[in-house]
């Protein structure tokens, strides 16, 4: 049985994700889970990040069996998607439909790949659209368009108007195009992994990037404390054990 890393070593590993998960006693840390933990940890406030790392280490140390993909499904069904329902109420029906698939998968009844794809695509679309850095993109677009207009003989007032018009149009177009590209590429990969209950395939979809997108999308709608809520729920699920092994579960 590998030695349990000291708390400082565990926190250091979370801060240097390229090094991979530390050795823990028990069945080990799946790659999808480590990616998720790293992304959550980097978004936690400094005064709570170390405490959460300690709780995560305690939940993982000695865990047997290892956390399963069912834990990810339970986390999405009961925490991630309900959070997004509060920040994106206009998309509640799409979010609720996906949450239902995750609930079923957490209890070993995954849907087929086509069903997953149909449910994932609209949710990924809204996530990546919401997470797009519109303020930064708009400022950059305005600066370029405004400078172009001035260099081509526009009056200052006309250049300002041109800059704002261009920035608004290009920012929205880029946000929508980027969201469509992400959703179209990611939905079938996630659907294939979820339909096959394939944790390795899920890890290859870069869950850390998806977690960061959720946090940014929630923050764009005013939920600035999304990361602590997501992190606390995940560590609690891990402490309870995989779905189906909990008392009463």
Mean pLDDT value across the chain:
89
Q: Is the dihedral of CA 22, 26, 32, 34 positive or negative?
A: negative
pLDDT score of 88: 97
The pTM (predicted TM-score) of the whole model is 0.87
CA distance 163 to 143: 7
Residue 45 lies in a domain: yes
pLDDT > 50? residue 14: yes
Number of structural domains in the chain:
1
pLDDT score of 13: 82
Q: Which is more confident, 206 or 13? A: 206
28-52: per-residue pLDDT in tens? Answer: 788 999 999 999 999 999 999 999 9
pLDDT score of 2: 47
Highest mean pLDDT: which range of 28-37, 95-104, 168-177: 95-104
Q: Which is more confident, 124 or 242? A: 124
- Packing angle, helices 207-220 and 226-240, rounded to 10: 140
Task: Quote the radius of gyration of the chain (alpha carbons, Å).
Answer: 21
pLDDT score of 241: 73
Residue 41 lies in a domain: yes
pLDDT > 70? residue 26: no
**Which tokens is 226 given?**
């999304």
Residues spanned by the domain of 78: 7-88+223-240
CA distance 67 to 241: 7
Residue 61 lies in a domain: yes
Residue 73 lies in a domain: yes
pLDDT score of 24: 61
**Which tokens is 94 given?**
């799409």
Residue 177 lies in a domain: no
Residue 74 lies in a domain: yes
Q: Which is more confident, 4 or 48? A: 48
Q: How confident is the model at residue 62 (pLDDT cuts 50, 70, 90)?
A: low
107-164: per-residue pLDDT in tens? Answer: 999 999 999 999 999 999 999 999 999 889 899 999 999 999 999 999 999 999 999 9
Q: How confident is the model at residue 1 (pLDDT cuts 50, 70, 90)?
A: very low
pLDDT score of 134: 87
pLDDT score of 216: 96
Residue 49 lies in a domain: yes
pLDDT score of 249: 40
Residue 149 lies in a domain: no
pLDDT > 80? residue 63: no
pLDDT score of 27: 56
Q: Which long-range contacts (CB under 8 A, 24 or more apart) does 182-188 make?
A: 182/124, 182/128, 183/120, 183/121, 183/122, 183/124, 183/125, 183/128, 184/121, 186/120, 186/124, 186/210, 187/116, 187/117, 187/120, 187/121, 187/124, 188/113, 188/117
């Amino acid at each position: 049985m590998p030695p349990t890393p000291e708390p400082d070593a565990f926190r250091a590993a979370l801060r240097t994700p390229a090094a991979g998960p530390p050795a823990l006693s028990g069945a080990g840390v799946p790659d999808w889970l480590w990616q998720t933990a790293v992304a959550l940890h980097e978004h936690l406030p400094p005064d709570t990040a170390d405490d959460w790392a300690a709780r995560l280490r305690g939940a993982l140390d000695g865990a047997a069996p290892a956390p399963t993909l069912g834990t990810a499904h339970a986390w999405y069904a009961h925490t991630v998607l309900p959070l997004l329902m509060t920040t994106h109420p206009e998309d509640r029906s799409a979010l609720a439909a996906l949450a239902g698939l995750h609930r079923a998968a957490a209890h070993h009844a995954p849907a087929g790949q086509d069903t997953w794809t149909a449910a994932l695509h609209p949710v990924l679309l809204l996530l990546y659209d919401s997470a797009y850095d519109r303020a930064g993109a708009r400022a950059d677009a305005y600066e370029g368009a405004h400078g172009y207009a001035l260099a081509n003989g526009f009056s200052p007032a006309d250049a300002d108007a041109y800059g704002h018009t261009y920035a608004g149009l290009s920012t929205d177009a880029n946000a929508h195009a980027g969201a469509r590209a992400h959703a179209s590429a990611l939905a079938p990969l996630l659907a294939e992994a979820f339909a096959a209950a394939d944790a390795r395939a899920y890890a290859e979809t870069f869950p850390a990037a998806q977690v960061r997108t959720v946090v940014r999308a929630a923050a764009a709608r005013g939920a600035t404390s999304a990361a602590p809520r997501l992190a606390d729920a995940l560590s609690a699920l891990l402490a309870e054990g995989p779905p189906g092994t909990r008392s009463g579960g």
